[in-house]
């Protein structure tokens, strides 16, 4: 890296950068968090870790002063979702995802009550193409359903949505300034794309309206995850 670029590398975490701990065991997740050190302050714990000891890990991360995003995509009858959201709120975790159906979103918002837990709606899974939606009985395209569900998330009192970089501008426009727009599918120019076919750079995702980016393998698979995270943060800092 050139000296001028090195001078811009921040030495602290960017609170808008979320790193997913996509590993099977809490032990591997702890090792990753230790390798990243103070370069990241926000971690995502998904279903893979949930199936082992993800909640214990989440509590440990909170005790270390980190922010925690539980990506569990709740989807059940309203009473169950409401109770689950209330229990998650008690844990002190920061973000939880729910499927973007009106009943589910409203129940999660009721469940978190006055806590600081943020409810994020998953509008349409990016694995679903228009043909898949037709097979499931939806008459809309994925794009139209995303837009409908952003409106419904706002109406239900959700704090934000998960959006691809290509949907971030729409979510920001509909949700307004304080709406959370959390964007996976982010790849710096210098990293492998892996299976993220339509990735955007960290800077472009923020410029498009993301409030937070989820960026995993460019950091977690790097030889030096700490340095890679600071490099991503340096790029994010250019967005202001
Ligand atoms: O390593 P990578 O940056 O691709 O990790 C992205 C994370 O965001 C993973 O945890 C993945 O499951 C999640 N995600 C995604 N695309 C979506 C929704 C979630 O990549 N549409």
pLDDT band at 162 (very low <50, low <70, confident <90, very high): very high
How many distinct helices (H) and strands (E) make up the chain? 12, 8
pLDDT band at 240 (very low <50, low <70, confident <90, very high): confident
DSSP 149: H
pLDDT tops 80 at residue 41:
yes
Look at the domain 3-237 and name its fold.
TIM Barrel (3.20.20)
Would the CB of 217 count as within 6 Å of ligand 1?
A: yes
**Cβ-based neighbour number of residue 47 at 10 Å:** 12
Task: Choose the residue to mutate in 184, 191, 210, 232 for probing ligand 1, maximizing ligand atoms within 8 Å of C-beta.
Answer: 184
pLDDT tops 90 at residue 25:
yes
pLDDT tops 80 at residue 4:
no
In this prediction, residue 6 carries a pLDDT of: 47
Nearest alpha-carbon partner for 128 in 117, 136, 120, 118: 136
Which runs of consecutive H residues, i.e. helices, occur in 64-161? 78-91, 102-112, 130-135, 142-156
Interval between CA 4 and ligand 1 midpoint (Å): 32
How far apart, in whole angstroms, are the C-alpha atoms of residue 181 and residue 163? Answer: 6
Q: What is the largest CA-CA distance in the chain?
A: 57
Residue 207 annotated in active site: no
Ligand 1 atom with the shortest distance to the CA of 46:
10
């Amino acid at each position: 890296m050139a000296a001028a670029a090195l001078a811009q590398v921040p030495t602290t975490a960017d609170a808008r950068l979320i790193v997913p701990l996509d590993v099977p065991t809490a032990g591997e997740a702890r090792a990753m968090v230790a390798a990243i050190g103070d370069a990241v302050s926000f971690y995502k714990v998904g279903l893979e870790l949930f199936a082992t000891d993800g909640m214990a890990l989440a509590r440990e991360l909170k005790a270390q002063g980190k922010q925690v995003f539980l990506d569990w995509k709740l989807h059940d009858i309203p009473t169950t979702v409401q109770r689950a959201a209330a229990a998650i709120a008690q844990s002190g975790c920061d973000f939880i995802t729910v499927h973007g159906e009106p009943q589910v979103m409203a129940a999660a918002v009721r469940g978190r009550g006055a806590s600081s837990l943020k409810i994020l709606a998953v509008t349409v899974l990016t694995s679903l193409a228009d043909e898949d939606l037709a097979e499931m009985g939806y008459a809309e395209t994925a794009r139209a359903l995303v837009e409908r569900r952003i409106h419904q998330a706002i109406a239900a009192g959700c704090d934000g949505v998960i959006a691809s970089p290509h949907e971030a501008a729409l979510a920001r426009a509909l949700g307004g300034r304080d709406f959370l727009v959390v964007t996976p599918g982010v790849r710096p120019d210098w990293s492998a794309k892996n299976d993220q076919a339509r990735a955007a750079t960290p800077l472009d995702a923020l410029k498009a309206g993301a409030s937070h980016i989820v960026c995993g393998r460019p950091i977690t698979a790097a030889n030096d995850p700490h340095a890679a995270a600071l490099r991503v943060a340096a790029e994010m800092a250019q967005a202001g």
